[in-house]
Amino acid sequence: MNIEGFERLLKGEQAGRTRAAAAPSPDPPRVYLFVGRDAFLREQARNMLLEKYTTAEWRGFNVDFISALADPVQPALSRLHTPPMMDQQRVVFINDAQAIKEPALTLLKNYIQNPSRYSYLVLEAEEMDSKAALHKLITKHGAVIDFIPLRGPMLVKWVDNYIRRSGYSAELSVIQKLVDLTGGNLYAVTNELAKLFTYLSGGSGREITQELIAELTIRSRQNTVFELTDAIGRKQRKKALLLLQHLIRDGEDPLGILAMMARHFRQLLMVKEMINHKASTREILSRTQIRDFLLEEFMRQAKNFTDEEAVRSYRRMAEADGLFKGAGLHAQSHLEWIICCATR
């Protein structure tokens, strides 16, 4: 099932539902597996779930974000059985689900087969074999949502639909130019569209043109985001804080920045773990999906952090995702704090 099917599922429509054939309830599943490398689409799906089942003012009490790489899973499973505070439901997100091991894995399997009526559980993994026991179990008792990065015509179609839903229009050639300028990164695409929508809302019509893109969209800031994550990995605090300031000033979405920082540290943790287990270069490249020409830099950066430091930094990033949405924090200040802690 893709994100469109997930949206239909939350609305109670039958099409695209991956439930057990014998499941009698028409309600959406209580357990989900989000699989795929497209962080933007996963973020959209999280927001859909939270907006349907929680209220913003109580999310700080009823929504948990943890990583199976950095946090114990058992306490999160215990919270699923706790009634929500002043809200409809409790929601627990567990990232890096592929890293869950015994005895937590058995507890998780038992829960999936008999979930709490108070809560929704979302397991996330960038990749998981469809033959894996956890994948099969959630396919049977819940729903598996795939988040494959959009490319080519599918990406252009997605951007076209996004523009139309927002009340604007653009020719396909114009959309292709915007995609090319932003490197196809959906965080960058939607940031640039937000600027274009703001400009057009001032009375300049509803159509996005080549000339308007040339005037308001300079270039993708993707390289700058990578420069930021590299500066953090090298513990270059001054440079990292300056790059963050530039990104925020240029309108980059703080959640998009946070997602890239978290992804970088998740890869660093995986590299450190595999080095400790004396894995070969080929094994590291295969599991982490790091490009071969970047691996040497990742290995250098991994040496800058003890295991405890890397886990602590990644945990702060995972927690910040929920805090940004539920607690009304000033995003830039909190990102600066995370950077300062990580680059000590």
Tens of pLDDT, residue by residue over 192-202, are 898 899 888 87
Whether the per-residue pLDDT at 17 is higher than 50: the answer is no
Task: Give the mean pLDDT of 93-110.
Answer: 88
pLDDT of 13? 56
What's the CATH fold of domain 3-146? Rossmann fold (3.40.50)
pLDDT of 251? 77
pLDDT of 283? 85
The matching CATH number, chosen from 1.10.760.10, 1.10.8.60, 3.40.50.970, 3.90.320.10, for 152-216 is: 1.10.8.60
* Full DSSP string of 226-258: HHHHHHHHTT-HHHHHHHHHHHHHTT--HHHHH
pLDDT of 16? 41
Which helix or strand (DSSP H or E) is residue 280 part of?
A: none
**pTM of structure:** 0.67
Q: Who's near 245: CB < 8 A, 6+ residues apart? A: 332
Q: Where exactly are the structural domains of the chain?
A: 3-146, 152-216, 222-342
Least confident of 6-10, 176-180, 212-216, 278-282: 212-216
What's the CATH fold of domain 222-342? Zinc Finger, Delta Prime; domain 3 (1.20.272)
Would you place residue 326 in the very low, low, confident or very high pLDDT band (cuts 50, 70, 90)? low
Tens of pLDDT, residue by residue over 140-180, are 999 999 998 888 899 999 999 999 999 999 999 999 989 88
Q: If you average pLDDT over every residue of the chain, what do you get?
A: 85
Q: Report the DSSP beta bridge partners of residue 35.
A: 125, 146
The tokens describing 271, both together, are 């590299």
Task: Give the mean pLDDT of 46-52.
Answer: 92
Task: Give the mean pLDDT of 305-320.
Answer: 89
pLDDT of 146? 95
Tens of pLDDT, residue by residue over 220-234, are 455 578 889 999 999
Residue 62 CA to residue 92 CA, distance in Å, equals 8
CA-based nearest residue to 147, from 276, 38, 19: 38
